[in-house]
A = this chain, B = another copy of it.
Amino acid sequence: MTYYQKLEQHYKKYARLGHLSAICGWDQASMMPAGGNEARSEAMAELAVLSHQLLTEPQLADWFDLAERESLAGEEQVSLKEMKRSWQMANLLPESLVQEQSLTGSKCEHAWRTQRAENNWHDFSKNLEPVVELARKEAQIRSEETGLSRYDALLDLYEPGMTTKELDQLFADLKSWLPSLIQQVQEKQGTETVITPQGPFPIEAQREISLEVMNKLGFDFNHGRLDISVHPFCGGVPTDVRITTRYDEDDFTSALMGVIHETGHARYEQGLPAQWHNLPAGEARSMGLHESQSLFFEMQLARNETFIGLLAPLAQGAFMRPDDQALTSDNLALVSTRVKPDFIRVDADEVTYPAHIILRYEIERDLIEGNIEVADIPELWDRKMNEYLGLSTKGNYTDGCMQDIHWTDGSFGYFPSYTLGAMYAAQFMAAMRKEMNIENLIRERNLTPIFNWLDKHIWKKASTLSTDQILINATGERLNAEYFKKHLIDRYLK
């Protein structure tokens, strides 16, 4: 057996433990009764230790050295490179730091669940400070090893290749036109009459529509399921993708759009190349690219008014309301594209969402680089919310800087993925439109060419190319925010 093969075997073992963790994690969020939590958390932690041990076994350094001297096929070289990236990521940090981060993050997150409801910034900030300190230590170590800046070294975990330099440019551009766009859209929408659909919309009927739409969107039910959880997510493994949603009897559109979003994530996973399953080269390329697929499905496809033309009759049928004026295609298209600056990121519309992200990016970047401190966050949050969305969060931590889970457990560098995803998605759609008439395909209920394009250019590439290269191969150029801008103007101002 070659050393490359030894490494492959080792990584497949690692992936199999990841499989168990993914399924038990899904179970914990969607099936497990509350009383099972303690033992489950212990079992998952034990597995995490075993997995980490696998990636830090001392012989791996030699194996990588030796494998690099073997004569490998081109795709094996790519696979080796991704295994090595994963190995380096796992071995950079001292065990003690990883453990301290895990404990400190768990403590902060656990307390945050009550503190957020109580608007208790004072106590929360005391827990957040050590989390930030440890993240800075991690950033420092990663920075020294990679030569990247401290924040970039964290960003690289989620969006390999992306840098502060590029983000600063992209977001400066966005900031230059977004506030006025938001204002123009609001003025335009102020003249429109929208009928808000009135519940109750029975859960069973909502589930029925969800499954039907997932079918139309090509979700493979032989390799996945739809269930319920408090916080919707896409989990499981590529051969068995578990997506979840949360139904609201008063509003069927949020669950429906949520299911479509997760279906985008799911198809990326289901579409990953089988020959690379269980190896790093076979994983989704980046968080931003992952989000580009969910946002392609939700924003580019499902909120397109032609697509709403398919959803409306489904809703009218499932809820047995053939004559409900709130469920006409035209009205649902309006409902699905409302724009309104508000406090909560996860509830934000497509137009105001980037403002939430830029705000968080600017704060976490400066926090990790050591330019600001935890105590500075509330004032910065308030000032930026005023600037970007015209809202004040003064004294309102619950709906301000305490709303997200990301920082509580130390996931700094993740937020940009959301807006990168939106930009990638718009760029993919623009490229696709050069090859096909999207609206005609939707009207003909023939979405296959669309999915085939994504499958060929993104899903089947997995991590065998860089994000940049995937974008260039698929669209002819690197990330270009103009497509996102044009998408918003076309949809919201025309």
Binding site for B on A (CB under 8 A): 13, 16-17, 19-21, 23-24, 27, 31-36, 38-40, 42-44, 46-47, 50, 220-225, 236-237, 239-240, 277-278
Contact = CB atoms under 8 A, between A and B. Distances in A.
Nearest to A236: B36
A35 B225 CA distance: 11
Contacts of A50: 17, 50
A44 to B, nearest CB: 8
A278 B13 CA distance: 25
Contacts of A20: 20-21, 24, 43-44, 47
A33 to B, nearest CB: 5
Contacts of A33: 221-225, 240
Contacts of A38: 239
Contact of A36 (B16, B17, B27, B239): B239
B39 A237 contact: yes
A27 to B, nearest CB: 6
Contacts of A224: 33
A23 B39 CA distance: 12
Output the residue of A43, A223, A278 with the most chain B CB within 10 A: A43
B225 A17 contact: no
Output the residue of A27, A44, A222 with the most chain B CB within 10 A: A27
A272 to B, nearest CB: 12
Given A35-B223, A239-B36, A43 B24 contact: no
29 contacts: A16-B43, A16-B47, A17-B43, A17-B46, A19-B42, A20-B20, A20-B21, A20-B24, A20-B44, A23-B23, A23-B24, A23-B27, A23-B40, A27-B27, A32-B240, A33-B223, A33-B224, A33-B225, A33-B240, A34-B222, A35-B223, A35-B239, A36-B236, A36-B239, A36-B240, A39-B237, A39-B239, A39-B240, A50-B50
Contact of A43 (B19, B36, B40, B44): B19
Given A20-B44, A27-B27, 11 more contacts: A13-B46, A16-B47, A17-B47, A19-B43, A20-B21, A20-B43, A20-B47, A36-B236, A36-B240, A38-B239, A39-B278
Contact of A240 (B19, B40, B44, B239): B40
A22 to B, nearest CB: 9
A16 B47 CA distance: 8
A243 to B, nearest CB: 12
A342 to B, nearest CB: 37
Output the residue of A20, A24, A222, A236 with the most chain B CB within 10 A: A20
A41 to B, nearest CB: 10
Nearest to A33: B222
Contact of A31 (B46, B225, B239): B225
Contacts of A23: 23-24, 27, 40
Contacts of A277: 39
Contacts of A220: 35
Closest A-B pairs by Cβ, 10 of them: A36-B240, A35-B222, A19-B43, A35-B223, A16-B46, A16-B43, A39-B239, A20-B20, A36-B239, A23-B24
Contacts of A31: 31, 225
A46 B236 CA distance: 17
A29 B43 CA distance: 20
A179 to B, nearest CB: 46
Contacts of A32: 240
A452 to B, nearest CB: 20
A36 B221 contact: no
A42 B12 CA distance: 10
B35 A19 contact: no
A222 B38 CA distance: 12
A30 to B, nearest CB: 10
A40 B239 CA distance: 9
Contacts of A39: 16, 19, 237, 239-240, 277-278
Nearest to A224: B33
A36 B23 CA distance: 11
Given A23-B24, A27-B27, A50-B50, A16 B42 contact: yes
Contacts of A43: 16-17, 19-20
A34 to B, nearest CB: 6
Nearest to A38: B239
